[in-house]
Structure 1
Amino acid sequence: MGPVRAWRDEEEIELGPRQQRAVLAALLLNNGVRLSNDQLIDMVWDDPTPSAVMALRTYMYKIRKALPELDLRSRDGGYTARAEIVDDCRGEPLEGLRGAYFDAQRVRLSDHRLKAREDCLERGLDVLGLQEHVAAFPLRERPRALLMRALYLDGRQGEALDHYHRARALLGEELGLEPGPELRRVHAQILSGGLTAPHRPEQLLPDLIDFTGRAEEIARALRTLPGTVGITGMRGSGKTVLATRIGHLVKGRYPDGQIFVRGGDVAGELLRAVGVENPVGDKAALWREKARGKRFLVVVDDVEDAADVRDLATPGSAMILTSVRRLHELPGVTWMTIAGLTEREAREFFRGILGPARADAEPEQVGKLLERLSRLPAPIRVVGGLLSSRPGWTIEMSVLQMERESKPADALPPYCAAMVAPMIAADQRLNDPERHLLRCFARQDTEVIDCHEAARMSGGDPGEIDLLLESLAAVHLIEPLVLGRYRLPRFVRLYFGLRTAALTG
């Protein structure tokens, strides 16, 4: 795509003679696909001699040495390379490489580049850019139809119709053809007044200016997209906020729009976002049809059932899922689990909410408070917001309130409902045996959970206890350590301690 070149940081890498660059180009054009020695030789040499085998081995050695990042692998008499390929749109594709294989690839890449340029022009409907493109490729009908659309939407109906008549005359004179269906359709829509601007959804939630941490998770998501990214973790861990931050970082890559859906009828909501009202039939199939050739960013928040999002991923578009449960049955999803922030990140987040002066005045109490909240962003925001609204309160006062777990219901702080809202939502989805088990742990103030001890405390059957523990681990209310042992997060212990005190007080 242009000359075959490579860089490491800002420094260009020497790729050797023409045939060595041709070998590299053949590998990259088949990115991730194993090519046998014979296939590579046929691609690079139109009339190979016996010495081609030795030359190929030499080139492979030099390519490996120059570009260790390629992860160039040799297996079963063939080679595989993986890389990100960049088309800088400068000059002829594969410039300087000759031969039947590269001539055919040049035609394919030129067509691909032309279509990509027209896709870009369609999204922007820039009149000047379309006029330049039509002048360069006068017999291509798609850009003429786009130019007619852009002129009409710009209030230049006469010019749009004039372009249709000029296109009709040119096609008749040069090719003996009438305009194709796309040109005729746009012409008819202009005459009927039925031409409207394309619908471009922009539904991402606002990004939070005080977003803190998650650098490793963000980096992994950026490497994965446009593959599907899944974010799982307990309620209150910041899954939605993280998905939103990632969405804002990459939304420029998806010019056809960003769609945000919160569970439920996901396919139906996606279709409504692109202008399909009251969709019926196979909604997933209809969405795939509408998304074909487009680049959408789709964020589906709080997925409870894998069936809600199955078969909705489309080539070129990206999907970010959040779910309390990791949906193992969904293929092709790169999952990452988030929990509390690191200690440094949690302190930074809390300082930003409360203010550095008050937070730094009680560093030890801040540490205790954050540990009781398991450094989860949602409850930290609530407590920090409450303290910032009450300048007469100290951080130690909040810590002392949380330590009164053994007292009855009147010990609950007034802001408790907001602080423990993630736990209330999680509690509502538990069955009675799961809830009873967590209350037993909270009553014993137990941090590390052993299967046998759990059975003794709860009075349950050991076999059933194993299933209950795994069920609780699946929704991140306990954390698996080693086989048969789990950890109970402090925030979960705080909530179920308060609930136990309220029920027995």
Structure 2
Amino acid sequence: MSLRFSLMGPVRAWRDEEEIDLGPRQQRAVLAALLLNNGIRLSNDQLIGMVWDDPTPSAVMALRTYMYKIRKAIPELDLKSKDGGYTLRAELSDDCRDEPLVGLTSTYFEAQRARIANERLHCREALLERELDVLELQKHVAAFPLRERPRALLMQALFREGRQAEALDHYHHVRALLNDELGLEPGPELRKIHAQILKGDLNLARRPDQLPPGLPDFTGRTVEIAAALRALPRTVGITGMQGSGKTALATHVAHLAKHQFPDGQIFVRSHDVANELLRAVGVENPHGDKAALWREKARGKRFLIVVDDVVDPAGLADLHTPGSAMILSSVRRLNALPGVTWVKLAGLTEGEAHQFLRKVLDPARADAEAEAAGEVLSRVSHLPNPIRVLGGKLTGRPHWTVAMLLAQMERETQLGSAVPSDCRAVLAPMIKAEQQLSDEERHLLQCFSRRESDVIDICAAAEMAGVEPGAIEYVLEALADVHLIEPLVLGRYRLPRFVRMYFGWRAPVLTS
């Protein structure tokens, strides 16, 4: 279950996809004041001063009443009074399309409205600078005709499209406008760009925008997202088993944070990371020390770099530059890399998995068989990729029930090698993981999967494998490193249900 709040337009809140009734205007104003000071303790007097311009003695009682009703409407906030004040921590989710704080009229909210509007204007112009889209810049210039920065950007965009004459004509137009309206000459940025266009030497730095689109049905991971955003601009690593959604989370976090990195976003899947970074900023066929060349190109810039499916940490050595940030995804946690904040992914929570299935499948079908749906989700350990495949399969079979899917899953785990293609799609994360295992690791997982208990210790594992406990510990730790078993306390491990299902199916049948 997730909470979202918006300050754009009227103050609003949602629990998952359902909007929460926040009560009357002044109650919304109290919540807005807390949200605007996210994570900061506000005393009763501070809150009253923000919400009421001329508070009466009854404001104290009104504040208590509003706080009581906010806690009742949104108990997940855990909003408790401490030392005569309140602290709220929440995630704001705004699309910037509406005016902020609509309906809130105190002096405090008027000042916050002006501050937010100014921040939005700067964010909008930072986005326009990255994209240099002529049409969007023309719209922005029409809305803010006396702002010189977007005028300069429009001249650059026109020049980049080969419209040099239009860029020069635009300069003369804005010069006349500034003279008529303000009695001023254009500022140094406009004059410099005008001179560069006249000489034909306006060099526009390439601003890469390589992030894949985010998933429209991305669900959950609230804790992991918050941890990653807190860590940036330090390097963030996302680790987890195959199918856990590492790439989706890395991309989602990158889209949330990209406005902080105006020089561009780079997405790399290549093993030669330095080479791909240089190509992204316009350096083709680089020679010599690529890492040093990248550091030179990135000096003073703010790039956001996503490196997906990292295998060799040596390929990332010496690539970090101050001001830029990296988000890494890797099955293994790469402990040799210094200064990385690691976020570990397992399956979704039970609630998140149900919510995701309702997005992939018709919600009415998922809700009608909640118990069967819960069993299906449990069998794949609540991993997003298998859930997407199974939900898609049911969507393509409108006359099937979830119970029918569950029955087919029962049969398919007993089919040996004759596995249907849609089942193989569900098992794809495990198939990929198995391809990277040694014979010894594979054999141990198959033996483990035949046991009734999902927990094993080193001694039992050694007995199954017929080796000494000291030797089997290395195998168990290797499996834990790729998240096929979960380390509990020293010497004890748990087998996830999805792993048990796959390797139990793969295990050879024992005959007497």
User: Do they fold alike, i.e. is TM over 0.5?
Assistant: yes
- Pick the aligned partner of 1:240 from 244, 247, 270: 247
Distance in 2, Cα, partners of 1:258 & 1:283: 19
Distance in 1, Cα, partners of 2:204 & 2:510: 59
Matched, 1:436 2:411: no
Which residue pairs with 1:271 in the alignment?
Answer: 278
Matched, 1:395 2:402: yes
Distance in 2, Cα, partners of 1:282 & 1:253: 29
Q: Give the match's secondary structure for 1:375.
A: coil
- Pick the aligned partner of 1:339 from 346, 349, 356: 346
Matched, 1:260 2:260: no
- Once the 2 structures are TM-superposed, how far is the Cα of residue 120 of structure 1 from its aligned partner? 9.8
Distance in 1, Cα, partners of 2:357 & 2:266: 31
- Pick the aligned partner of 2:491 from 484, 494, 502: 484
CA contact under 8 A between 2:278 and 2:284: conserved in structure 1?
Answer: yes
Which residue pairs with 1:415 in the alignment?
Answer: 422
The 1:261/1:66 distance shift into structure 2, 3 A limit, reads: farther
Which residue pairs with 1:327 in the alignment?
Answer: 334
Which residue pairs with 2:364 in the alignment?
Answer: 357
CA contact under 8 A between 2:267 and 2:306: conserved in structure 1?
Answer: yes
The 1:363/1:392 distance shift into structure 2, 3 A limit, reads: same
Amino acid at match of 2:309: D
- Once the 2 structures are TM-superposed, how far is the Cα of residue 261 of structure 1 from its aligned partner? 0.5
Which residue pairs with 1:289 in the alignment?
Answer: 296
Distance in 2, Cα, partners of 1:397 & 1:482: 39
Amino acid at match of 1:155: Q
- Once the 2 structures are TM-superposed, how far is the Cα of residue 408 of structure 1 from its aligned partner? 4.4
Distance in 2, Cα, partners of 1:231 & 1:329: 15
Q: Give the match's secondary structure for 1:335.
A: strand
Which residue pairs with 1:177 in the alignment?
Answer: none
Q: Deviations along 1:331-388, whole A, 9 cap, x unmatched?
A: 1111010100000110111121121121122111111111110000000111111111
The 1:158/1:269 distance shift into structure 2, 3 A limit, reads: closer
Q: Which residues of structure 2 form unaligned runs of 5+?
A: 1-32, 43-82, 88-111, 115-124, 173-191
- Once the 2 structures are TM-superposed, how far is the Cα of residue 292 of structure 1 from its aligned partner? 1.3
Question: Identity of aligned pairs, percent?
Answer: 59
CA contact under 8 A between 1:263 and 1:304: conserved in structure 2?
Answer: no
After superposition, residues 82-161 of structure 1 pair within 5 angstroms as: 152-153=159-160, 155-156=164-165, 159=168
- Once the 2 structures are TM-superposed, how far is the Cα of residue 448 of structure 1 from its aligned partner? 0.7
Amino acid at match of 2:424: A
The 1:190/1:269 distance shift into structure 2, 3 A limit, reads: farther
CA contact under 8 A between 1:406 and 1:501: conserved in structure 2?
Answer: no
Distance in 1, Cα, partners of 2:248 & 2:279: 24
- Pick the aligned partner of 1:208 from 201, 209, 215: 215
Matched, 1:348 2:364: no
Matched, 1:366 2:349: no
Q: Give the match's secondary structure for 2:305.
A: strand
- Pick the aligned partner of 1:425 from 424, 432, 447: 432
Amino acid at match of 2:469: P
Distance in 1, Cα, partners of 2:155 & 2:411: 72
CA contact under 8 A between 1:346 and 1:377: conserved in structure 2?
Answer: yes
Distance in 2, Cα, partners of 1:413 & 1:150: 52
Amino acid at match of 1:321: L
Amino acid at match of 2:501: L
Q: Deviations along 1:457-489, whole A, 9 cap, x unmatched?
A: 122332111000000000000000111110010
Distance in 2, Cα, partners of 1:310 & 1:416: 40
Distance in 1, Cα, partners of 2:147 & 2:247: 43
Distance in 2, Cα, partners of 1:67 & 1:316: 36
Q: Give the match's secondary structure for 1:403.
A: helix
Distance in 2, Cα, partners of 1:248 & 1:502: 48
Amino acid at match of 1:402: M
Q: Which residues of structure 1 form unaligned runs of 5+?
A: 1-6, 15-64, 70-87, 91-117, 135-142, 164-182
When the two structures are superposed, what TM-score results if normalisation uses the length of structure 2? 0.65
Amino acid at match of 1:344: G
Amino acid at match of 2:384: P
After superposition, residues 4-83 of structure 1 pair within 5 angstroms as: none
Which residue pairs with 1:454 in the alignment?
Answer: 461
Amino acid at match of 2:216: I
Q: Please identify runs of 4+ aligned residues in structure 1 that moved more than 6 A.
A: 11-14, 65-69, 118-122, 124-134, 145-148, 185-189
The 1:431/1:258 distance shift into structure 2, 3 A limit, reads: same
Matched, 1:315 2:322: yes
**Total equivalences in the alignment:** 380
Which residue pairs with 1:167 in the alignment?
Answer: none
Q: Give the match's secondary structure for 2:477.
A: helix
The 1:132/1:349 distance shift into structure 2, 3 A limit, reads: closer
Q: Give the match's secondary structure for 2:399.
A: coil
Amino acid at match of 2:337: L
Distance in 2, Cα, partners of 1:431 & 1:415: 27
- Once the 2 structures are TM-superposed, how far is the Cα of residue 393 of structure 1 from its aligned partner? 2.3
Amino acid at match of 1:311: D
Distance in 2, Cα, partners of 1:489 & 1:323: 19
- Once the 2 structures are TM-superposed, how far is the Cα of residue 198 of structure 1 from its aligned partner? 2.9
- Pick the aligned partner of 1:472 from 469, 479, 490: 479
The 1:447/1:293 distance shift into structure 2, 3 A limit, reads: same
The 1:409/1:156 distance shift into structure 2, 3 A limit, reads: same
CA contact under 8 A between 1:299 and 1:321: conserved in structure 2?
Answer: yes
Which residue pairs with 1:62 in the alignment?
Answer: none
The 1:426/1:13 distance shift into structure 2, 3 A limit, reads: closer
The 1:406/1:457 distance shift into structure 2, 3 A limit, reads: farther
CA contact under 8 A between 2:487 and 2:494: conserved in structure 1?
Answer: yes
CA contact under 8 A between 2:41 and 2:86: conserved in structure 1?
Answer: no
- Once the 2 structures are TM-superposed, how far is the Cα of residue 394 of structure 1 from its aligned partner? 2.2
Distance in 2, Cα, partners of 1:203 & 1:124: 12
The 1:464/1:304 distance shift into structure 2, 3 A limit, reads: same
The 1:290/1:456 distance shift into structure 2, 3 A limit, reads: same
The 1:190/1:475 distance shift into structure 2, 3 A limit, reads: farther
Amino acid at match of 1:469: L
Matched, 1:306 2:313: yes
